[in-house]
Amino acid sequence: MADNFAPRIVAFLCNWCSYAGADMAGISRIQYLPNIRVIRVMCSGRVDPIFVFQSFLCGFDAVLVLGCHLGDCHYLVGNYHTEKKMNRVRKLLGIVGIEPERLLLDWVSAAEGARFAQIVSSFTKKVKSLGPFRKDGLEQGLEAAKATVQSERIRWLLGKELELLQEGNVFGEKLSSSEIDLLIDTALKDEYLKNLVSLILKEKPLSCKEIASLVGLSPMAISSYLIDLEESGEVSLHGFEGKTPKYIAG
Amino acid sequence: MDSTGNLLLKYLGENDKSETREFDLVVLSVGFQPSPEAIKLAKKIGIQLNKYGFCYTDTFSPVETSRPGIFVAGAFQGPKDIPETVMQASGAGAKAASLLSPARNTLISEKTYPPEKEVGGEEPKIGVFICHCGINIGAVVDVPKVVEYARTLPNVAYAEDNLYTCSQDTQERIKAMIGEHNLNRVVVASCSPRTHEPLFQETIREAGLNRYLFEMTNIRDQCSWVHKDRPEEATQKAKDLVKMAIDKVRLFQPLKELTVPITPKGLVIGGGIAGMTAALGLANQGFECFLIEKSDLLGGNVRQVHYTLDGNSVSKFLEETIQKIEQNKLIHVYKNAQIKEVTGYIGNFRSTIDIKGEEEILEHGVIIVATGGHEYRPSEYLYGKHERVITQLELERKLVTHSLKPEELDNVVMIQCVGSRTEERLYCSKVCCSQAVKNALKIKEINPFSNIYILYKDMRTYGFKEEFYQKARNQGVIFLRYTDESKPEVTSSNNGIEAKIFDPVLGEDCLAKPDLLVLSAGIVPNEDNEALAKMLKVPLNEDGFFLEAHVKLRPVDFATEGIFVCGLAHSPKPVEESLSQALAAAGKAAIPLSKGFVSVEPIVSSVNEEKCIGCGLCESICAFSAIRLVSKNGVNKAETIPASCKGCGLCAASCPQQAITMGHFTDEELAAQIGALVPA
């Protein structure tokens, strides 16, 4: 089964280093597995976390993002931002229940044709061993994750992560990397669950307890998301079943 | 060679003992010599060579040959690394441009294009051209099949294969097909857009289409060449790539190519020798410039240097340069002046300067940073605690002003690498070895009986200066090597100073009681670099010097367009290298100035003002200051500065409101590529 599985991998390559590295592999006639479909961007910094979830929703089995080596970015710091963002995206994939290994970020210079070929082939083999990505049952999670990386709060945190780490916040406080990790990861999970609840309620009205059992969280936790969602107008009270309130999206 | 075929290397160790070791491989670090052709050429064109056969140049005119109007650059002028070569090349260009400036733009005829077709409201009609590249693609990918497939895709009005899509014939054919089929978008599937995109963009522009209605996909370098033994999979990949390109090109809209006019003036920050040379370089090419000096005197560090190793008078050169500056009507000198603020971008900078409390605003198109560096103030070896401990620059001044008489110096100890190549500052200051040799020879010239000891880690009198090191040895200057583990120890008592050093040849400590201890203090960056770097949004390196765009290939540019660097502000270097670099900066800065405008690739960000809430995240992450908040009707909104935007797209990928998009790489266009392969 795994033998005749041909993974479909979308590869975002930056124009200046990794795309040139891919050309170099060609010029040197270094053979590699034919599973990637390349999307050229000027900088790996252009790769919006949204693209990763779009890719999975569009049926790709894995996502490869390649940039210039750290310190060599044509745009000075683009790839540092990409590194931070993709690390978070990997965590979010884990939260959704998708193997984080299906997203790989690595660095290839314009001269490293052999390295490019090696990364593509070994990633393709890795994805083969993971098997096809089956999105059945994960669509809602993927949509919720996409909504999460579209949310203002998360985009702020992802955009500011480097600055928070290097220069501190507006009050001049510098958080340690583990404090920042905790801050952003908590926000990711929080925002994801909120979006998931909202998506679930688009299908049919449910009570807090019903949602809790679907999501696998305590009713206490769900009720706090419901309060948030009610406040922002994304969810409203649909009616009562007996004494139990039921909620619906919108 | 020994019996195993390995190489035996016999050499004299530091302790003067002969040693033999076996090696698998011996790599020779081979020196430079001038090429015989260059020597022949020199004879033909009548330029002087030095005694080694390299092109002769004067210390103060490092790119000028002995014959006016003939300039030199690179290794023919002397052994050197890539950055110095590139600097000299740009510097020689600047020198040549000075001579030619009256004739600038007289031999130019402008290319004309047909007017651009309006395609905005039209249904996309896509033309697809798929290349065989001889057998390079065609032998692996089934090109006709890919063409056939392309024809089935929505909006594809025409598709064909070509033996060579890049050939002149095919360019004509593409133009004809655009006309015949009324095409308004074009896809080429062939080699790399990195090499061939501009060619095809030019072709469709000649046919009246906007250059940005074009997409290219790479089915050679990234497909046929790398999947040689998998023709079927390669053909499938090519089909997919073509589909992705078609789905993207369908969404393309014409992008307006922008040109921004330029204020043809330069701002040179720093009135040292590098800054003055850069200002003269600009003025000689016909451009007005402002020269900003923070002190009340021009000259900078060179004021403290009086003669070069080969005996040229620095003071005379300095005087002549200042005179040239003051007489040049195109150069406006501001002394006692500080930069307060710089806004704008290439072509259109606006700087506020403070001259003794009075502010003035200057408008200019380029900036050259030449703020210099200075000699390290040692804290080592009793410097500042004992009057007989001085630096090389102080020694030079004392010798020139005769406040120190070499006749009275029986014993002199010099210590190299003071403040350089230490844990705190790893770099080599490049000038101190030559400076020590220079001052040692000066003392020897007057007092041949003086004992001079130079305590060094490595002597680096590189290039042609090596002969002065030899000369110093021949004249009896004693060179003693120390290591980080065996640093000299300096103490003082009522009898004067004592220097103790471990002599590796004798294997024991030696004690010297010098009349004078001279420290070869390194060069350190100016303290105000950080503030200026922030103002200009250009980077500094770890040591606090300005960091160029590329250490080898772009030695005077910053990544930010329109800003250049030269002299000690960039890194420690001897006068002649500062001069080359200053000329190079003037040469590079003159390129946009002489063009009169900057053309901007429209691959730039743009802001949807309705969505933008003015949070400023984009401004804070942009490495090029190419997006900023401006108040519009009292509300902050982000705004792209197209001339500064490099098109990376980081802002678009980060905007919390998704209010920013990138020309040619919009969210929708990239989403279409991602979604192109969803099974129908």
Give the nearest partner residue to B674 out of A39, A45, A74, using CB atoms: A39
Residue B12 lies in a domain: no
Residue A3: the pLDDT is: 65
**By three-state DSSP, how is residue A92 classified?**
helix
Q: Tell me the residues of chain A between 118 and 177 that have a Cβ less than 8 Å away from chain B.
A: 150, 152-153, 155-156, 158-160, 162-163
- Which of A23, A24, A30 is the best substitution to test chain B (most B C-beta atoms within 10 A)? A23
Residue B176: the pLDDT is: 98
Q: Count of CB contacts below 8 A, A vs B?
A: 150
Nearest chain A residue (CA) to B548: A76
Residue A235: the pLDDT is: 92
In this prediction, the residues of chain B whose per-residue pLDDT falls under 50 are none
Question: How is residue B360 written in tokens?
Answer: 């003035």
* Boundary (domain end) residue, out of B466, B492, B524: B524
* Boundary (domain end) residue, out of B524, B549, B569: B524
Q: Among candidates B499, B501, B459, which has minimal Cα distance to B477?
A: B459
Residue reference for tokens 């790399």: B192
Residue B256 lies in a domain: no
The alpha carbon dihedral of A159, A161, A167, A170 has a sign of: positive
Residue B440: the pLDDT is: 97
Residue B3 lies in a domain: no
- Mind telling me how many Å the CA of A184 is from chain B's nearest CA? 15
The boundaries of the domain holding residue B61 are 40-102
**A1 pLDDT more than 50:** no
Residue A169: the pLDDT is: 79
Q: Mark whether B396 and B473 lie in a shared domain.
A: yes
Give the nearest partner residue to A54 out of B624, B649, B671, using CB atoms: B671
**Residues in B touching A29 (Cβ below 8 Å):** 225-226, 228
Check A32 against B226: CB less than 8 A apart: yes
Identify the H or E element spanning B445.
Answer: helix B432-446
How many distinct structural domains can be found in chain B?
5
- Which of A37, A47, A89, A158 is the best substitution to test chain B (most B C-beta atoms within 10 A)? A37
Residue B175 lies in a domain: yes
Residue B321, domain CATH? 3.50.50.60
Residue B189, domain CATH? 3.40.50
Q: Mark whether B286 and B368 lie in a shared domain.
A: yes
Identify the H or E element spanning B395.
Answer: helix B392-400
Q: How many Cβ atoms from other residues are within 10 Å of residue B423's Cβ?
A: 6
Residue B2 lies in a domain: no
Residue A85: the pLDDT is: 97
Mean pLDDT over A126-148 rounds to 94
Q: Mark whether B389 and B507 lie in a shared domain.
A: yes
Check A40 against B193: CB less than 8 A apart: yes
Contact A51, A146 (CB under 8 A): no
Rounded to two decimals, the pTM is 0.71
Q: Mark whether B291 and B401 lie in a shared domain.
A: no
Q: Mark whether B501 and B381 lie in a shared domain.
A: yes
A15 inside 8 A of chain B by CB = yes
Residue B584 lies in a domain: yes
Q: Mark whether B383 and B514 lie in a shared domain.
A: yes
Q: What residue ranges define each of the domains in chain A, with the CATH number in brackets? A: 2-130 (3.40.50.960), 151-249 (1.10.10.10)
- How far apart CA A172 and CA B280 sit, in angstroms, is 45
Q: Mark whether B413 and B450 lie in a shared domain.
A: yes
Q: Mark whether B472 and B503 lie in a shared domain.
A: yes
Q: Tell me the residues of chain A between 56 and 95 that have a Cβ less than 8 Å away from chain B.
A: 58-60, 74-78, 81, 85
Contact B239, B577 (CB under 8 A): no
Residue B117 lies in a domain: no
Q: Mark whether B455 and B511 lie in a shared domain.
A: yes
Q: Mark whether B277 and B367 lie in a shared domain.
A: yes
Q: Among candidates A66, A106, A36, A18, which has minimal Cα distance to B192?
A: A18
Contact B569, B274 (CB under 8 A): yes
Q: Mark whether B362 and B380 lie in a shared domain.
A: no
Residue B225 lies in a domain: yes
Residue B643's contacts (CB-CB under 8 Å, 6 or more residues apart) are B258, B260, B345, B346, B347, B348, B561, B598, B600
Nearest chain B residue (CA) to A159: B654
- Which of A40, A82, A157, A164 is the best substitution to test chain B (most B C-beta atoms within 10 A)? A40
Q: Mark whether B184 and B56 lie in a shared domain.
A: no
Mean pLDDT over A133-141 rounds to 91
Nearest chain B residue (CA) to A36: B237
- How far apart CA B179 and CA B163 sit, in angstroms, is 21
- Mind telling me how many Å the CA of A48 is from chain B's nearest CA? 4
What's the whole-number average pLDDT of chain A? 93
Q: Among candidates B166, B155, B213, which has minimal Cα distance to B189?
A: B166
Q: Among candidates B629, B635, B637, B639, which has minimal Cα distance to B604?
A: B639
* Boundary (domain end) residue, out of B524, B553, B585: B524
What does DSSP assign to residue B223?
I
